[in-house]
Structure 1
Amino acid sequence: MIDFDDYLDKYNRFDRTQLYPAHTGYRHLILESIVKRIVAGLIGAGLAAYGGTVAYIQHFDHQGGPTLSADSPTLKDPAAKAAFDVLREARCDYCHTKGADLPFYFHLPVASTLMQRDLEQGLRHFRMEPVIAAFQKGDSPTEEQLSRIEEVITQNRMPPSLYLLIHWHAHLNEDQRKAVLTWIDAERRAHYAGNGVAAKFAGEPVQPIPESWPVNADKVALGEKLFFDKRLSGDNTLNCASCHGLDKGGVDNLVTATGIGGQKGPINVPTVYNSVYNIVQFWNGRAATLAEQAAGPVMNPVEMGSHDWKDVAAKIINDPDYGAQFATLYPDQPIGKDTITDAIAEYEKTLITPDSKFDLYLKGDDKALTDQEKHGYALFKSIGCSGCHSGPDMGGGAMEVMGLEHDYFADRGGAFTAADSGREDVTHDPLDKSRFLVPTLRNVALTGPWFHDGSVKTLEDAVRKMAYYQTPAGKISDQDVSDITAFLKTLTGKYKGVPLEQVKATP
């Protein structure tokens, strides 16, 4: 009987090329052909699996996602409906809403690690829930929300490339991007166009600041007196204007505030001018209203240093003029925290600064700006500054993370302070770490030093750092810095008809 195993072993060990040298090349050709077929098969199988995954993901994406109820007004608004369809097709909600039903690959070991970071960054950078709710109700998103969407659509930054490797259908073509931008323009013209704005600028992210705000004139008069009254402080040495000088752009031009007894505060003073347009007050947004903000410094031991509102009220009651005013305006309320801060807030509503050079330009005066200033505004929009600094106040409409593109705090050096925590100190949500109220850019040339920590000494350096830390533009040229700075200097307005540089410290 033949031992086939032994036979095959001898056959395989026999060097047949000694008998048939030509067989060597032929053998290599056969092996090469076999390898190519195997590789082609593997590639084909891989492509088939990849294609199948893409097809499944597309089906999954279309089955889920935000939907409009049958009675949603958006269904009758072609521009809004088209924009909603684009954002839904891209499934922006995956990374920009909490609790979205994610595709299966988000839960795979390697993918989950990669995707978790994207999810956290998406939630940290922008939330879609209020935008989806606005579509549902037929309302307009806020000016800041419109500007943020406009920014990423214009720059073609979303959806991100890694996401598009699997979600092919989410790639936005030119028509889809145009649909979103058309909707944004329509929303601005319908809901946010400023009074007196030229038609060609009605769809701009920035609008002229209004001339006034509705107020009670008698409360304003009372609030003005209180704003400058040093008896609100514990030792009768400080008033609201000590930190919010009307002659200093509404700030004190110090790195951080100087309070009672010469104590230094932990954070740079925000301007009081145009603060009525802020959605919340203070850098970390801890005050919901102007009145609530006005109350904070009075009792802060590092600021005005009073200990009890009863003590403050006792000083005020002894002034006969105050007594008559409070009795008339607040007949059913005692003099105290609520009435004092209500009057101060009413006064602060009048601290509006219209009629800047840029306002005149937006209202149709093309000669109000130089070519450099116009180019600076164009750069301001194109690199993404207007994504946050939008609306009539060019800020105050949202809270944003400091260091979107690079780690500001690591580069700054020094200790990370409680003030650096920002909104997280209020909400205790890690997603709010270093999130601050977007400051107004109105009169920004007068409000240095800049940033929440007061670390920036020149406006040019502020522009350079903001471009690097907050926009995808990164390091911009000195000429671009100069042009944007020139534009920002056109935002200095007037208070009661007087250029802000000439306003006196006291009325």
Structure 2
Amino acid sequence: MKPQSWLFTFIGAGAVAYLGTVAYIHHFDKQETQRRLQESQITDPQQRAVETVLYNNGCQYCHSNNANMPFYAKLPIASSLMEKDIHQGQAHFLLDNITDYLNQPQRISAADLAKLESVIQNNEMPIHSFKMVHWGSDLNEQEKATLIDWIHKVRQEYQLPANTSGTSVERFVQPVPQSLPVNPAKVELGNVLYHSTALSGDGTIACASCHSLNTGGVDNLATSTGIKGQKGGINAPTVYNAVFNFAQFWDGRAANLAEQAGGPPLNPVEMGAENWQQIVDNLNKDESLKQAFEKIYPEGFNEKNITDAIAEFEKTLITPNSPFDRYLQGDENALTATQKNGYALFHQYKCDTCHTGTNLGGQSYELMGLKADYFADRNKPLTEADDGRFAQTKNPYDKHRFKVPTLRNVALTAPYFHDANAQDLTQAVEMMLKYQSGVSLSKEQVSDIVDFLHSLTGEYQGKPLTNENIQSSQSTK
């Protein structure tokens, strides 16, 4: 046989093998979709349509923990390639966070909706290598519309702040409302308790010691100083707008503000009280406070009532009317040209898929180092604080995942990250672009993003929020 004949035979055999494999995989995909849909408990037509689109297009193969993989996933070369794709896919986004809660859409995070909408808008999924063997896995226009319509409905019903102008279902970020419903009497008591050193073991530390309202809700230290001069292990997040977070603390160990308020008083490094009875005894020494407290809480001081009052006060620590909020509400002149460009870059590089919602953050746990190994480059020993969400779940998937911090008032809250590794906003932006977005931008572009971040400083009690630490340091230069 002539060499050309061998070549044509080889090419033909390869084509037959490829087409046969593709045909098998197409059949497998259809069967897998049918199996999942038959096992599903979803009955709502719109939710069912969303589920069908996601499974029909094979999203579960790279973005689910419980996917039934096709045969080629076990082949040596294919296995190594797929393992890499699956690892990266799951690091970015878990489909289970959508499909498991289709019939409980209030539990789906703003971040997961933003990520899904972003890849649809940018035609980024599925990746080319997947489409080569999963023919028909591209989303068609009707499928895109099905997903986008559902995303906007969920955002409208569960995620837009109430009684707030400038909201939009088509945007990932939203303005801060002017106020939230609170009990004024509880707020007054909570304010007193928030600033009371009676909650600490030796009467020296208050909540406000590390989260002063005059310093951006933080202490501007790498780690806070607790009782007897002890140093904490992690950077203190701001208390401003914490009410908008889906969980509290970097590792999410508190489900709400009241649970968060109950942690530091008994922490031996932070406030160091022996138990709640010691705190109650300390507070009962103030007869006027005791009487005022019992008018609102007849059973008097206890852990539940103390933390409830502090949480009610913290609901008032919101900062509306930032230049960015005014821009979202229609004031085109609220942002400068560079800030507008910074916002465009912020969206282009998907910063708003994690720093999303009203708080521009606080809606999900994300891996620190999606695009590069942050902890290896940091060149510092790992600590317990670096475990992130893993400290609570013990799930390897959660290693180095942290609750995304808010960007509200971020110009006032340096240093940045859980380990305070970024000293200023320029450094923080450059590091986030490298480790989370996988890009390097020009100095001018980074500067524009920093300018945009400055537009996120809002007002507290009708006045622009300031930080006396920053003011005093600038006055000495």
TM-score w.r.t. length of structure 1? 0.86
One-letter identity of the residue aligned with 1:496? Q
Secondary structure, in 3 states, of the residue corresponding to 2:366?
A: strand
The yes-or-no answer on 1:91 pairing with 2:58 is yes
| Offset of residue 272 of structure 1 | 0.4
The yes-or-no answer on 1:296 pairing with 2:296 is no
Which residue number in structure 1 is paired with residue 28 of structure 2?
Answer: 60
The yes-or-no answer on 1:386 pairing with 2:337 is no
Which residue number in structure 2 is paired with residue 19 of structure 1?
Answer: none
Which residue among 308, 312, 323 is the counterpart of 1:357? 323
One-letter identity of the residue aligned with 2:28? F
One-letter identity of the residue aligned with 1:391? G
Which residue number in structure 1 is paired with residue 473 of structure 2?
Answer: none
The yes-or-no answer on 1:482 pairing with 2:447 is yes
- Residues in 1 aligned to 2:329 and 2:362: alpha-carbon distance in whole angstroms: 22
Are the aligned partners of 1:228 and 1:241 in contact in 2 as well (CA < 8 Å)?
yes
The 1:123–1:224 alpha-carbon spacing in structure 2 relative to 1, beyond 3 Å, is same
The 1:139–1:442 alpha-carbon spacing in structure 2 relative to 1, beyond 3 Å, is closer
| Root-mean-square deviation (Å) | 2.4
Deviation digits for residues 186-220 of structure 1, max 9, x if unmatched? Answer: 54345444444347x44211111111222221111
Secondary structure, in 3 states, of the residue corresponding to 2:232?
A: coil
One-letter identity of the residue aligned with 1:289? N
Which residue among 233, 236, 240 is the counterpart of 2:200? 233
Deviation digits for residues 163-206 of structure 1, max 9, x if unmatched? Answer: 2221122133566546544543454345444444347x442111
- Residues in 2 aligned to 1:242 and 1:135: alpha-carbon distance in whole angstroms: 42
Are the aligned partners of 1:268 and 1:451 in contact in 2 as well (CA < 8 Å)?
yes
The 1:73–1:485 alpha-carbon spacing in structure 2 relative to 1, beyond 3 Å, is farther
| Offset of residue 502 of structure 1 | 6.9
Structure 2 portions without partners, runs of 5+: 470-477
Equivalences for residues 457-468 of structure 1 within 5 A: 457-468=423-434
One-letter identity of the residue aligned with 1:453? D
Farther off after superposition, 486-495 or 171-180: 171-180
Equivalences for residues 234-249 of structure 1 within 5 A: 234-249=201-216
Which residue among 344, 348, 365 is the counterpart of 2:314? 348
- Residues in 2 aligned to 1:318 and 1:118: alpha-carbon distance in whole angstroms: 62
Which residue among 426, 429, 434 is the counterpart of 2:395? 429
| Offset of residue 440 of structure 1 | 0.5
Which residue number in structure 1 is paired with residue 77 of structure 2?
Answer: 110
One-letter identity of the residue aligned with 1:122? G
Farther off after superposition, 310-319 or 60-69: 60-69
Are the aligned partners of 1:140 and 1:187 in contact in 2 as well (CA < 8 Å)?
no
Farther off after superposition, 320-329 or 351-360: 320-329
One-letter identity of the residue aligned with 2:63? H
Structure 1 portions without partners, runs of 5+: 1-30
Which residue number in structure 2 is paired with residue 305 of structure 1?
Answer: 272
Secondary structure, in 3 states, of the residue corresponding to 2:214?
A: helix
Which residue number in structure 2 is paired with residue 336 of structure 1?
Answer: 302
- Residues in 2 aligned to 1:43 and 1:36: alpha-carbon distance in whole angstroms: 10
Farther off after superposition, 153-162 or 492-501: 153-162
The yes-or-no answer on 1:439 pairing with 2:405 is yes
The 1:321–1:314 alpha-carbon spacing in structure 2 relative to 1, beyond 3 Å, is same
Deviation digits for residues 224-281 of structure 1, max 9, x if unmatched? Answer: 1000001111121110011001111110011111111221111100000111111111
Which residue among 172, 186, 190 is the counterpart of 1:219? 186
Equivalences for residues 170-189 of structure 1 within 5 A: 170-172=137-139, 176-177=143-144, 180-181=147-148, 183-189=150-156
Which residue number in structure 1 is paired with residue 281 of structure 2?
Answer: 314
- Residues in 1 aligned to 2:327 and 2:164: alpha-carbon distance in whole angstroms: 11
Which residue number in structure 1 is paired with residue 364 of structure 2?
Answer: 398
Farther off after superposition, 143-152 or 423-432: 143-152
Secondary structure, in 3 states, of the residue corresponding to 1:501?
A: coil
One-letter identity of the residue aligned with 1:63? Q
- Residues in 1 aligned to 2:393 and 2:164: alpha-carbon distance in whole angstroms: 39
Are the aligned partners of 1:185 and 1:204 in contact in 2 as well (CA < 8 Å)?
no
| Offset of residue 70 of structure 1 | 9.7
The 1:411–1:156 alpha-carbon spacing in structure 2 relative to 1, beyond 3 Å, is farther
Secondary structure, in 3 states, of the residue corresponding to 1:311?
A: helix
One-letter identity of the residue aligned with 2:231? K
| Offset of residue 503 of structure 1 | 8.4
Are the aligned partners of 1:420 and 1:434 in contact in 2 as well (CA < 8 Å)?
yes
One-letter identity of the residue aligned with 1:393? N
- Residues in 2 aligned to 1:425 and 1:135: alpha-carbon distance in whole angstroms: 28
The yes-or-no answer on 1:279 pairing with 2:246 is yes
Are the aligned partners of 1:260 and 1:302 in contact in 2 as well (CA < 8 Å)?
yes
Which residue number in structure 2 is paired with residue 11 of structure 1?
Answer: none
Are the aligned partners of 2:164 and 2:178 in contact in 1 as well (CA < 8 Å)?
no
- Residues in 1 aligned to 2:458 and 2:466: alpha-carbon distance in whole angstroms: 9
Which residue number in structure 1 is paired with residue 472 of structure 2?
Answer: none
Which residue number in structure 2 is paired with residue 495 of structure 1?
Answer: 460
- Residues in 1 aligned to 2:43 and 2:360: alpha-carbon distance in whole angstroms: 30
One-letter identity of the residue aligned with 1:303? E
| Offset of residue 300 of structure 1 | 1.1
Are the aligned partners of 1:249 and 1:500 in contact in 2 as well (CA < 8 Å)?
yes
Are the aligned partners of 2:110 and 2:159 in contact in 1 as well (CA < 8 Å)?
yes
The yes-or-no answer on 1:165 pairing with 2:165 is no
- Residues in 2 aligned to 1:172 and 1:306: alpha-carbon distance in whole angstroms: 57
One-letter identity of the residue aligned with 1:356? S
Q: Percent identity?
A: 47
- Residues in 1 aligned to 2:69 and 2:394: alpha-carbon distance in whole angstroms: 26
One-letter identity of the residue aligned with 1:87? L
Are the aligned partners of 1:97 and 1:129 in contact in 2 as well (CA < 8 Å)?
yes
Which residue among 435, 438, 441 is the counterpart of 1:469? 435
| Offset of residue 139 of structure 1 | 6.3
The 1:193–1:281 alpha-carbon spacing in structure 2 relative to 1, beyond 3 Å, is closer
